[in-house]
Chains A and B, each alone.
Chain A
Amino acid sequence: MTPVKTDKQEIDLDVCYREFAPRLFAVAYRILQNQTDALDVVQECFLRAFRNRKKFEARARVSTWLYRITVNLCYDLLRKRTREKKIEYLDNYDIKSVPFDGEKNLQQEKLVGQIKQEMKKLTPKQRTVFILRLYEALPYNEIARITRSRVGTVKATYFQSVMKLRRLLRQRGVLKNEMPAG
């Protein structure tokens, strides 16, 4: 992927948008758990990227840069929500779950919902690292560049976030059946 350049701005913006907009939406949606906000973040991310494209030239990867802008915009929005005391506890949000068939799948659907609830208890940083690693399958060094952290810190954060989720789900009794006897 070539950086966004002035002489080919439309073509590059087009290419970047097609390739990254849905991926950036996925990240923003998972962090914010709100469709409208996530779509707004994607548009704002590309606007900022376009306006600051000259600063970008020297950087290595467009994706890292775009992910970083997206994550920062999400953090801004989360801070704004906190300031406005509007941390709408996502129950009102348009979260869609996997459609399952049968009774067994109803249980699975419930479990997915419970995990989602517990994910809200992760810190924004933990949630971001968790999302970028688990869903986006990004390597640790790229996550480190996106979050401006050290690789070791990112690894530790990912481990901590999974362990925290595990602990929270245990407390809810969700993981009871998964434990081996003894």
Chain B
Amino acid sequence: MRCQQVEQLILECLTEGVCLPEEIQQHLKQCQHCQQTLAEIKTVVTYCRKETLPSFSEDFWQQRFLSLRGKTVSVPPLRFILGLSGSVAILVMAGLIFFTSPGFRTKFHHETASLQERTLLPSEDELFQLVDYLKEEDPSLGLQLLLKN
């Protein structure tokens, strides 16, 4: 067995808190390097485990849990409501600004007026029909109108 394998197995056994297998014990009897490793790793593992943590009562954790539950209940709907009302407000504002803007009004009136103008003017065919009609009634008047147009 190689020393590095032995070192790894020593660490595993000390971590798990189990006895060293016979094979390793045999190796240790004849290898001073691994004896030293065993002693040092044992110190590291043992003293690391002696470290204590701040401890809290069950009541403390219960209080922490209650404050957490408050957040899990209120946070997602509040976000949703805020998001929705924000979107609606933006749409309403945009609509108001658009429909009441002077630019929109002018454009709207201009387009309506030009539409009315276009519908009131006679088409080319209608003009010729009119000229033909007038020519029949009064040939000189028909000629004048044709020249004017």
Contacts and interface: CB of A to CB of B under 8 A. Distances in A.
Interface in A16-48: 17-18, 21-22, 25-26, 29-30, 35, 39, 42-43, 46-47
Contacts, number: 103
A149 interface: no
Interface in B54-83: 54, 56, 61, 64-65, 67-69, 71-72, 76
Contacts of B76: 51
Given A13-B69, A175-B40, A116 B15 contact: no
Nearest to A35: B54
Given A10-B69, A180-B35, A112 B50 contact: yes
B20 interface: no
A162 interface: yes
B68 A43 contact: yes
The main secondary structure of chain B at its interface with chain A is helix
B64 A18 contact: no
Size bin of chain B's contact surface: 20 to 34
B63 to A, nearest CB: 11
B47 A112 contact: yes
A133 B51 contact: no
A94 interface: yes
Contacts of B43: 111, 169, 175, 178
A17 B40 contact: no
Interface of B: 7-8, 11, 15, 32, 35-36, 39-45, 47-54, 56, 61, 64-65, 67-69, 71-72, 76
